[in-house]
Amino acid sequence: MSTEFLDLPQLISAGGTVRLPGSKSISNRVLLLAALAEGTTEVRDLLASDDTERMLDALQTLGVGVASLGGESWTITGCGGHFPVRQAELFLGNAGTAFRPLTAALALAGGDYVLKGVARMHERPIGDLVDGLRQLGADISYLGNEGFPPLQLKPAAIQPGGVVKVRGDVSSQFLTGLLMALPLTGETVAVDVVGELISKPYIEITLAIMARFGVVVERDGWQRFTVKAGSRYVSPGTIYVEGDASSASYFLALGAIGGGPVRVEGVGSESIQGDVKFAEALAQMGAVITTGPNWMEARAPQGGLVAVDLDCNHIPDAAMTLATAALFARGATTLRNIASWRVKETDRIAAMATELRKLGADVEEGADYIRVTPASLQPAAIDTYDDHRMAMCFSLAAFGTPLRINDPKCVGKTFPDYFACFAGVSKAAPVIAIDGPSASGKGTVAARVAAALGYDYLDSGALYRLTALAAQKSGVDWADESGVAAIATRLDVEFTAGDIRLNGELVGDSIRTEEISAGASKVAALPAVRDALLFRQRTFNRAPGLIGDGRDMGSVVFPQAPLKVFLTASAEARAERRYKQLIEKGFSANLADLLLDLQQRDERDSQRSVAPLRQEADAKLLDTTGLTIEQAVNQVLAWSKEAM
């Protein structure tokens, strides 16, 4: 897993319009059928993602003509069912929509091929598809564990007039792969589905796209599908890929949770994708849904969302979004008939349950269901398991709490620009970042601005002082980077009106001594300590807003803050203020010593390699040398009206 992360503040509202990327399921089906067809196909609005890159790379390796027209448009020169390259090794990453259909097509294409993927792909079952292909005469060997990739494919000895049986209760991609490959046999072949067919809407997509390329599959309900002898794929000329209906679910849920309206363009009432029915499920939770031929829109209901008990066989991927929407619904939401989640990019039932519990939800999971009971949400670092839908689903939880998304780039599988689009239609709790040197008055100003606006207050410097104090109490040397970082990670701190508590103990005065202030400056220069406290500081970014003061609020902790203030004063003025503070609290102090200490600290803070003290280019400078506290506060409040 990547060590990268994305920290999301608490969100307070959502509204706007999103143009969806192309559907992953449709994109890879279209690419494969265009490759197998006679003629050249112009594919418009293709999804740009990891999955489609794996398919395009594979087709090029197989000798198929692939050319970019710029943007999301491509031309595919079909091979009429005969791949020019008869021997190849293909790496398909974790792209199930590429691996399963290519397995079927190449097993019947008369060549010698090896198909591999990432470690997780080698854990995803493919035995039922292989068993079905073997019934047709395919020669397939497992190169690792029985029933799982990687695979060795040899030329098949096609058996005419067959009936193939395939299980329907593991993955609809097995049936999709078989159906798309059957015209390569040249024979009439019937496929009988054994057991209940899951993810039926994806089979509807397959049948619709096959028909666009000239192959009409006869069907007897959901139990038998027949492809007639002589069936062949013919290019439709130009084909447009619909927007991804599964991706639409996140933004529709965003509107339902965050007020809305949020509109998604690219799918609507005329879509061939089953996941558009997610909107109906959201409506059952109370959301206000409106649709058009190529768009859908969601608003929050008066009184909020309500829990549902729902069979999700018809929306297997989009149903994941309901699990996080359930965090904002009254009552316990139960999602049933989701066994297919367990054989996706990760075991999604187990992964979803684990991460929801991190946030504080009460979760019950079974073989094919999950039940989510909401609770007061708490900040958490969400692991995404190299699964794009985990990352996108859990972004919605930011309406209840700040959170961290680990490995956010995994969304590249289907929606590389997801988090940019997400930010474009959501509004975060605002932050005013006030930075400046020691004793510049930033703490007093920040606290009063917070009180005036009704915002939370974060004394960043206090966190470092608290870390220094906690280390001292634990007997850990301030130079012991790993030891101090461990303490910072589990720091139990609470800011209340005029007070600070460490492990429940009032420590407001204890952390203001010169000794602890010096210790704070030392531990703040340790990269591991700063990393440990970074997310902790960001968890203060809650509704209705936050005023944070420190030395790197605007540069490191809240670089996107709508208002940044660099508050300063002359060293002499700051020394005199510090002197008066200490005397009033009964501490002994020497003005000359304080001045020298501040000058040395300014030099040290401005020269340190990690987050040096500096005014950011977009920060407003406020010199308080000749200002009263009231004047400084009023200036920040005036700036806040302009910025917000």
Q: Write out the DSSP string of 156-209.
A: --PPTT-EEEEESSS-HHHHHHHHHHGGGG-S-EEEEEESPPP-HHHHHHHHHH
Tokens coding 432: 């005013």
Tokens coding 320: 């994941």
Q: In degrees, to the nearest 5, what angle opens at C-alpha 608 toward C-alphas 523 and 548?
A: 65
Q: What pairing do the DSSP bridges indicate for beta strands 403-406 and 426-428?
A: unpaired
Exposure class string for 82-121: b at 16+ Cβ within 10 A, else e: ebeeeebebbbbbbbbbbbbbbbbbbbbbbebbbbbeebb
CA-based diameter of the chain, in Å?
Answer: 100
Question: Is the four-CA dihedral 468, 471, 475, 479 of positive or negative sign?
Answer: negative
d(CA 182, CA 172): 16
CA distances from 631 to 192, 236, 442 (A): 80, 71, 13
d(CA 324, CA 391): 11
Q: Report helix, strand or coil for 75.
A: strand
Q: Are 551 and 568 in contact (CB under 8 A)?
A: no
**CB-based burial label for 11 (10 Å; 0-12, 13-18, 19+):** buried
Q: Are 614 and 555 in contact (CB under 8 A)?
A: yes
Q: Which residues are catalytic?
A: 317
d(CA 298, CA 210): 32
Report the helix count and the strand count for the chain, using DSSP H and E.
Answer: 20, 34
